[in-house]
Chains A and B, each alone.
Chain A
Amino acid sequence: MADQEQSTSSTFPNPPPFWQDFTPENLTRIEQLRKSFAEANPTRDVPTRLPVIPESLINLQPPAEPKDGRFKIFGEHYTLENKLVTLEETGIKNLAPTHPSRQGDNANPSSSLNRRDVPHTDHALELKRLAKSLLLNFLELAGTLSINPGDGPAKVADLETLLFNIRHALNEYRPHQARESAAELMQEHLDRTRRETTAIRSQVEKARRVLEGLGSLTIPAEAERGAAAAAAGEDAAQVAEELRELDRRRDAELWAATDAAFT
């Protein structure tokens, strides 16, 4: 009771109690079990669920798939295979059975293989037809209502069928679009990575040029200084002045080279 009160008053429900089973000891134990299973059955892959497991470790492996293929989560019912409910199943007339993917179960297995390489152009054509029918049917509805309002509901039902068909066709297209978007995203990522690589390369190239520039600069400067030092027999004050001048020029040259490399 106390538990229940707590779970209803908190914003999020408490985690299921079995999280406490995931102790380091238990984890190592199940790891060992897996290893021994792999050694005992070298030919088979280790399944996610070990067939024999002590009671205390039962929560450490995922539960079995539901046998009837249905499960419930957050109050919603789901089935294991996530398939689109066909129009016939919901009791709505299927208006456009022309697309291979809509031919249902009576299509033979070979066509289900061929179906994968069918482009979706006729799918779009079908959708356009449906959209045109929608407009035409509305015109008919307006006409019917002005002549005999009693026949209106039949026409409204037609419109409804059309709308359901369009919706269904769109939903059928969704997996296709999902794949397409995935490819688009990957392309984008690829372009970005390539751009980044070129940018890095060009920076490296610049840095290398700077290094080379520096290397070629130091040698004449050193030589000049050596010459200056050799001539240091004369006036000490004049030599000091020359040395300062030389340093200043060397600095200026260095900065100029750096500027040239980076602009």
Chain B
Amino acid sequence: MGDRLTQVQDAVDQLAQQFVAALWFVQRRHDLETLGPKDKIFTPKQDGQAPPPEVDSLPVDDFRAGLTELSRDLITKEQQIEYLISMLPGLQNSEQDQERAIKELEEDLKAAESQRREALKERDQILAELDQVIRSIRRP
């Protein structure tokens, strides 16, 4: 799972692959019919062997169902792409906004870091005090 741009990119690539797959399905699984009585289906001969059939027909209902499914998938994928696009980070920010935000964050980070150091120092001090107290405890 990459960043969102890469996700969009991948989704677009998948959409392109789905295009090919859909065309291939139509090409391969349609019901082979002649348009007129004179038409013949051309099958190339290959030295006696029966060539693999060019069309592997599906029953009409299955073919229709397949078409519907493929089209639905295409549309879903397209909508997914649009959703991803609208989810791209910082659409409302311009480059200047970004630079300003980054500068502010930098300042805040510096302040927070110095506060942390202070707290650490305080902790070490209290630890030393506690240590001293524990050491000085003796049985009466």
Chain A interface residues toward B at CB < 8 A? 116-121, 123-124, 127-128, 131-132, 134-135, 138, 141-142, 145, 159, 163, 166-167, 170, 173-174, 176-177, 179-184, 186-187, 189-190, 193-194, 196-197, 200-201, 203-204, 207-208, 210-211, 214, 225, 247
Question: Within the assembled complex, what's the spacing in Å between the Cα atoms of A203 and B119?
Answer: 10
Majority-rule SS of A interface residues:
helix
Q: How far is the CB of B68 from chain A (nearest CB, A)?
A: 14
Q: Could you write out 23 A-B pairs with CB less than 8 Å apart?
A: A117-B95, A119-B92, A124-B85, A127-B85, A128-B85, A132-B82, A134-B12, A142-B26, A163-B12, A163-B16, A167-B12, A170-B8, A170-B12, A177-B3, A177-B5, A177-B88, A180-B90, A180-B93, A181-B3, A183-B90, A197-B116, A200-B123, A211-B129
CB contacts under 8 Å to A, within B96-140, are 96-99, 101-102, 105-106, 108-109, 112-113, 115-116, 119-120, 122-123, 126-127, 129-130, 133, 139-140
Query: How far does the alpha carbon of A138 sit from the alpha carbon of B113 in the complex, in Å?
Result: 55
> How far is A131 from B75 in the complex, measured between Cα atoms in Å?
11
* Bound CA–CA A197/B109 (angstroms): 12
Query: Nearest chain A CB to B60's CB is how many angstroms away?
Result: 17
Least CB distance from A127 to B in Å reads 5
A177 to B4, CA, bound (A): 9
CB <8 Å contact, B126 and A119:
no
Q: Interface residue count for B (Cβ, 8 Å)?
A: 52
Residues of A within 8 A of B116 (CB): 193, 196-197, 200
Residue of B nearest to A138 (CB): B19
Nearest CB on A from B110, distance (A): 10
Q: Complex: how many Å from CA A120 to CA B98?
A: 12
Q: How far is the CA of A119 from the CA of B93 in the complex (A)?
A: 5
**Chain A residue with minimal CB distance to B122?**
A204
Please name the residue on chain A nearest to B118 by beta carbon: A197
A203 to B5 CA separation, bound complex (whole angstroms): 43
Contact partner of A123 (CB less than 8 A), chosen from B4, B91, B109, B139, is: B91
Determine the chain B residues whose CB is within 8 A of the CB of A117 once the complex forms: 94-97
**Measured between C-beta atoms, what is the minimum distance from A98 to chain B in Å?**
16
**Contact call B130/A190, Cβ cutoff below 8 A:** no
Q: Are A134 and B140 in contact (CB under 8 A)?
A: no
**Smallest CB separation, A198 vs chain B (Å):** 8
* Complex CA–CA separation, A197 to B122 (angstroms): 11
**Which residue of the partner chain, among B82, B93, B112, contacts A190 with CB atoms under 8 Å?**
B112
* CB proximity of A100 to chain B, nearest CB, Å: 11
Bound together, the chains give a CA A170 to CA B8 distance in angstroms of: 8
- The answer to the question of B49 belonging to the interface, with a C-beta cut-off of 8 Å to chain A, is no
B91 touching A120, Cβ below 8 Å: yes
Contact among B19, B97, B119 with A201 in the assembled complex (CB-CB below 8 Å): B119
A211 shortest CB reach to chain B, Å:
6
List residues of chain B with CB within 8 A of the CB of A176: 90, 95, 98
In the bound complex, what is the Cα–Cα distance between A117 and B126 (angstroms)? 50
**Min CB–CB distance B73 → chain A (angstroms):** 12
When chains A and B are docked, how far (Å) is the Cα of A225 from the Cα of B93?
72
CB distance from B107 to the nearest CB of A (A): 10
